[in-house]
Amino acid sequence: MFKFEIIKKSKRSKARVGKVYTNHGVIDTPMFMPVGTQATVKTMSPRNLNEIEAQIILGNTYHLYLRPGNQLIKNAGGLHKFMSWDKPILTDSGGFQVYSLAHKRKVLECGVEFSSHLDGTKHLFTPQKVVEIQQDFGSDIMMPLDECVAYPCDKKQVEESVNRTTCWAKESEQSIVNSAQNGALFGIVQGGCFQDLRKRSAEEIAALGFPGFGVGGLSVGEPQNQMFDMLDIVTDILPEDKPKHLMGVGFASDILGAIKRGADLFDCVIPTRLARHGSFLTLEGKTSIRQSRFEKDFSPIDPDCDCYTCKTFTKAYIRHLFWAREILAMQLLTIHNLRFFIRLMAKVRKEILDEN
């Protein structure tokens, strides 16, 4: 069922408009996907997500494996039925979460051994197990186990992570159970900020023939220009007719620059996390609703935004809710922040389609 169609290529950059066809619907690209770490996008119901026109969400394999468990989700009929979301779902491998819990894990040649952050129990993620977990979820797009390294990082360590990521990608591909109901497994490119390692990783992963690709190990502290340089290298090598997901990037300037360099899909917790801490997003950047200047501001967050928050409420009211510690404040800011990115993606698609 999985297919990627390029509708139009930009004449000014590597940007393009496309469609990703999955078992649970079509995704227009470029597209930003809200992050639903634990089978929910924080403060948002599926109805909220449909109202902001979200086309795909991301789930987290590490967290969902630990709680409630992949077997329970499988018994519920898969992740879509479990959370009442009937559109596409991408699940990551959990590799980044394991990487971020450095003091709780040990990288082995066969996989990653880690201690649960919930109860300290020991677990082992192997390439095969991570694919099996995601197949239990019924994910539309699956990510293989990979090794993400920190920035900055010693080149020898990055080279070892590239070797391991390629090896695990091969094992992941071999463990796929072919079925029309199963999702597509993407390959992931690593390589840190070393040009030769990025090039090598992209060549090795591209050679495996995955239907799509993730670009990992970026947006981990490196300067924006380095991220763009690495992405340029990767997208020049990966097959043009396959979708490319730049993982974990969530600021507007980063996403817009990445689209020009050939990236199609994006995800990040930034819009929901900022909302929970009282900040809203516009093209000018992030702004805190807590500021005293908004106390008597009866204008919407963004008069040009068509989201429920901006059409219905004022800055003064949302500020009041936030200082009163009302949950509604977080939900209203989340609605706006996610809609901001989805509107931005629609604007970019229109600009490319309107090019002469």
The pLDDT of 70-94, averaged and rounded, is: 97
Please tell me whether residues 259 and 278 are part of one structural domain.
no
CATH assignment of the domain containing 58: 3.20.20.105
Please tell me whether residues 215 and 324 are part of one structural domain.
no
CB atoms closer than 10 angstroms to residue 155: 13
Confidence at residue 180, expressed as pLDDT on a 0 to 100 scale:
57
196 is annotated as contributing to ligand binding: no
What are the structure tokens assigned to 41, written together? Answer: 């996008």
Q: Identity (one letter) of the amino acid at 84?
A: S
What's the 3-state SS for 104-139? HEEECCCCEEEECCCCCCEEEECHHHHHHHHHHHCC
Residues with a catalytic annotation lie at 92, 267
Q: How confident is the model at residue 100 (pLDDT cuts 50, 70, 90)?
A: confident
Confidence at residue 178, expressed as pLDDT on a 0 to 100 scale:
61
Strands 31-33, 265-267: pairing kind: parallel
pLDDT in tens, 248-263: 999 999 999 999 999 9
pLDDT in tens, 34-66: 999 999 999 999 999 999 999 999 999 999 999
Strands 265-267, 279-282: pairing kind: unpaired
Task: Give the residue numbers spanning the domain of 246.
Answer: 3-268
d(C-alpha 218, C-alpha 221), whole Å: 8
140 is annotated as contributing to ligand binding: no
- Helices (H) then strands (E): counts for the chain: 14, 18
Please tell me whether residues 253 and 285 are part of one structural domain.
no
pLDDT in tens, 81-92: 999 999 999 999
Please tell me whether residues 233 and 300 are part of one structural domain.
no
d(C-alpha 93, C-alpha 64), whole Å: 11
Boundary residue ending a domain (268, 294, 323): 268
CB atoms closer than 10 angstroms to residue 354: 8
Contact (Cβ atoms closer than 8 angstroms) between residue 127 and residue 145? yes
Confidence at residue 181, expressed as pLDDT on a 0 to 100 scale:
64
d(C-alpha 272, C-alpha 126), whole Å: 30
d(C-alpha 165, C-alpha 191), whole Å: 10
Please tell me whether residues 145 and 45 are part of one structural domain.
yes
136 is annotated as contributing to ligand binding: no
pLDDT in tens, 155-210: 999 999 999 999 999 999 999 866 656 899 999 999 999 999 999 999 999 999 99
Query: Is the pTM of the predicted complex or chain greater than 0.75?
Result: yes
305 is annotated as contributing to ligand binding: yes
210 is annotated as contributing to ligand binding: no
What mean pLDDT value characterizes the chain?
96
